[in-house]
Amino acid sequence: MTLTHSLYGRLLAWLALPLLTLGALLLLQAWLEARATADRAYDRLLDASSLAIAEQVQWQDGRLWLDLPPAALEMLAGDAQERVFYSLVDQQGRHITGNALLPAIADTHDTDDALLFYRDITWQELRLRLGIRRSHLEGWRSKERFEVRVAHTREGRDALRLELLRGNLAGILGMGALAIATLLMAVRGALKPLTRLRQAIRTRDPRTLAPLELELPRELAELREALNDLLARMRRVRANQERFIGDASHQLRTPLAGISARAELALRQTQPEQWHTALTAIHAAGERSARLAMQLLSLTRLDNPEQRPELTPLDLNDCVRQAVRAHWVTCHQAGVDLGADCPASPVLVAASDWQLQEALTNLIDNSRRYGARRITLGVLSHPPRLFIEDDGPGISAEQRLPVLRPFYRGRDDGEGSGLGLAIVDGIARKHGARLSLSEGEADRGLRVELIFPETAS
Amino acid sequence: MNRHLLVRGLFLALIYLLPFHAHAAQTLHLTARDDAIPHPPLVIHAALDLPQARPLLDAFQRRHPGVDITYRNLTTLALNERFLLHPGEADVMISSAMPWQFALANAGHARPLRAHIPDDWPTWAHWRRELVAFTFEPIVMVVHRELAQIGATPRNHADLLELLATHPEELAGRVATYDPASSGAGYAYAMEESRLSPRYWDLVAALGNVDAQLVETTSQMLDGLQDGRLLIGYNLLGSYATPVVEDDPDLTLIIPDDYALVTQRLAFVPRQAPNLASASLFMDFLLSPEGQRTLADATTLGALHPAMSGPGTATQLRERFGDALRPPDLGPGLLAGLDRLKRQALLARWQREFRRTLGNAEEPKKDE
């Protein structure tokens, strides 16, 4: 289960990412703040110490004089027992006294005011904090300027910084742990209905198609509704199938019952002529039953959604010519005028050849059975269309939808099976084509059109 | 190495300013026993006289017979100079010149001793675990029996001041003290005392008034006292005076009961110590109850170990004198004493006060 394939992981990642970023930023800020705070606190020592020294600077015997107060150095050392360094430098930058030649801070601009500058320096391999106080004498005669430079090691600052940081860190880590725990619980809780849904589906009786009754949050309720829709459609499909099976068995039973009755009747006869007549009738009924069974088979195959026909590009003109060739003889013998009306250029669609043939066969058969005398097959382009037109009785507008249902017959004359148009409709749907029924020329007969989707090319 | 140059410059300035007796180093060599587990040798540079150091070194070698010891006794100033010239020569540095020792440690010359300092070692007796004080030696007065003919034996500084002020003629030329200008120890005491009490300057004036002899060492004062040339010695190093006074019934040792300075020997292991293992062994020993017991029993240095009690220990001195004992703070305040201008100022004042006649004592005086 990789992160991207798990909702749990994905949610967690996207929620944890900002959390961690925030945590990192907080840590960085805590680090900087601790440093600044520690420096601020300890810079006061530099401040106080340099002030204490500067106050003792005097003008004596024509030179700067310092009576170094020991307390200034002790102050500078603080509790952390820092190493301390100090230096008094005159106007010309000469070292007057001190225990170290502390460097000047070069980049500060000169002003007359008493000022204090701080710098972190590395001096003789020691990391020091240097404080420089610029001051001048407040005497009557001399306004000599001078600098007091004091420095100490950073141990106290580092210790204070660590202490501050540790305090902050505990807070941040505690908050982080709490946030992550909450996050985990929240994500887990949010995904819990999903588990319930899964369990509900898993524990269902496989034969039941009853809708799911389950309290779910809105997002999942939509999924539940979709599932219930699917179940409802499946219920309808099953009902259709049950009716179809009922109709099919009824349809098959009728000719079989006829055969049985005819045979029984013939057995009571003694004349071979009568037997012959009976056998002829039985043969015809048997053939009809066989054809009915074939049609049922193809309809079942067409209804199976898992069966996808292999669609290859083919020219509808070829298709029509082939159909005419196949049926011309039978039609001619029956006195039906079968013709084709094809454009000069090929009309290409992606289709299954045998299914189109089956559809045309059914349509021709239908027209013939319902008494058409003239049947015209044809092809039109833009969009690609197959049509068949006859001069038969046609189908009234209100019957055009029901006739597509299996076993529905416009007229009950026992000739048709009521499956032909249903099969054609099934084939049309397999090709993504639309089946359209209308009147033929001069409001007579029937015109059936198979309208294919425009191909990309 | 600016830092070194500076300290050295300071130091050289002192040398040229002052008459300075550069004693040739006394060297003591204690050879390791052949049958012992061999250790790296140990080189100790110290300002600690041999009679005081010898028992300690012997005890250490009894404990660690495999250590070959070279002990050089130098004056405090020579010790400091030698270290700055050859910082990688000694394994242990011992000196009673606290400001100089502190300056070296402050400049980062000392190696942190960490666990080698016992946990119960008083915090005021070490600095950053780099520099450790291991003795406790009061600064004392020694008087000759003849003084009783002139006045009562002084018990404290006030007594002494009064004695000096009331008998200037009898005491003229018969009092001695350190010359702060030529003795590092004398300067350090003057520095401490001037901080402790403003009346110190009256005492200096009184000393000047009796034409006190200014000397450089405790032993010079002890010599004069034993001879009977001197009646009062002021500010003698107690650890050196004690054995002499004990042997001489004419002399009395007085630890002032108002305040008594205390000097402490400071030891550190230089960062560049060549034999770190031996140095650590020695420091462990020095601060251990065993080493401190040796200090208490066999020397007059005064053992500092807080668990020690009885004669020759800081504990006993503290019981007797309590708050009067003023060991200097082992801190950067010591550095102030090394400040060039500070030194000049203090010495100038000292000379001025020393020359001032007592009659002018009440005259308001502006310091600088």
pLDDT tens digit sequence for B313-354: 888 888 888 788 888 889 998 999 889 899 998 999 999 999
Question: Taking CB atoms and an 8 Å limit, are B368 and A58 in contact across chains?
Answer: yes
**Interface-testing mutation among B339, B344, B347, B367, with chain A (most A C-beta atoms within 10 A):** B339
Reported ipTM: 0.82
Specify the pLDDT at position B167: 92
Q: Reduced to 3 states, what is the DSSP secondary structure of residue A372?
A: coil
Would you say the pTM of this structure is higher than 0.80? Answer: no
Specify the pLDDT at position B12: 47
Tell me which residue in B107, B128, B339 faces A97 most closely, judged by beta carbons.
Answer: B339
First and final CA of chain B: distance in angstroms? 35
Tens digits of pLDDT across chain A (457 residues): 455 578 888 888 888 899 889 989 998 999 999 999 999 999 999 999 999 999 999 888 888 888 898 889 999 988 888 999 999 998 888 899 999 888 887 765 555 555 788 889 998 888 999 999 988 887 777 778 899 999 999 999 999 999 999 988 898 889 889 998 998 898 888 888 888 888 888 888 888 888 888 888 888 888 889 989 999 998 988 888 888 788 788 878 888 888 888 888 888 888 888 889 888 888 888 888 888 888 788 777 777 766 677 788 888 888 888 888 888 888 888 888 888 888 888 888 888 888 888 888 888 888 888 888 888 888 888 888 888 888 888 787 788 888 877 777 665 555 566 778 888 888 888 888 888 888 877 778 888 888 988 775 4
Which residues on chain A are in Cβ contact (under 8 Å) with B334? 70
Q: Reduced to 3 states, what is the DSSP secondary structure of residue B38?
A: coil
Query: CA distances (Å), B110 to each of A146, B48, B58, B102, B353, in order?
Result: 33, 19, 25, 9, 38
Question: Taking CB atoms and an 8 Å limit, are B336 and A60 in contact across chains?
Answer: no
Decide if B265 contacts B277 (C-beta within 8 A).
no
Which residues on chain B are in Cβ contact (under 8 Å) with A58? 368
CA nearest to B126 within chain A: A81
Question: Taking CB atoms and an 8 Å limit, are B368 and A83 in contact across chains?
Answer: no
Q: How far is B124 from chain A (nearest CA, A)?
A: 11
Distance between CA atoms of residues A71 and A64, nearest Å: 20
Distance between CA atoms of residues A355 and A430, nearest Å: 9
Question: Taking CB atoms and an 8 Å limit, are A68 and B339 in contact across chains?
Answer: yes
Specify the pLDDT at position B366: 41
Tell me which residue in A60, A81, A100 faces B128 most closely, judged by beta carbons.
Answer: A81
CB atoms within 10 A of CB A407: 17
Decide if A131 contacts A46 (C-beta within 8 A).
yes
Distance between CA atoms of residues B207 and B351, nearest Å: 11
Decide if A136 contacts A143 (C-beta within 8 A).
yes
Specify the pLDDT at position A305: 67
CA nearest to B339 within chain A: A98
Distance between CA atoms of residues B28 and B53, nearest Å: 10
Specify the pLDDT at position A72: 92
> Amino acid identity, residue B18?
L
Q: How far is A101 from chain B (nearest CA, A)?
A: 7
SS3 content of chain B, % helix, strand, coil (to 5): 45, 15, 35
Question: Taking CB atoms and an 8 Å limit, are B333 and A67 in contact across chains?
Answer: no
Decide if B219 contacts B204 (C-beta within 8 A).
no
Question: Taking CB atoms and an 8 Å limit, are B106 and A83 in contact across chains?
Answer: yes
CA nearest to A69 within chain B: B336
Decide if A132 contacts A147 (C-beta within 8 A).
yes
Tell me which residue in A77, A83, A97 faces B108 most closely, judged by beta carbons.
Answer: A83
Decide if B221 contacts B142 (C-beta within 8 A).
yes
Residues in chain B, pLDDT under 50 = 1, 12-23, 360-368
Question: Taking CB atoms and an 8 Å limit, are B341 and A97 in contact across chains?
Answer: yes
Longest distance between any two alpha carbons in chain B, whole Å: 73
Which residues on chain B are in Cβ contact (under 8 Å) with A83? 106-108, 128
Question: Taking CB atoms and an 8 Å limit, are A97 and B333 in contact across chains?
Answer: no
Q: Reduced to 3 states, what is the DSSP secondary structure of residue B179?
A: coil
CA nearest to A127 within chain B: B108
Question: Taking CB atoms and an 8 Å limit, are A99 and B106 in contact across chains?
Answer: yes
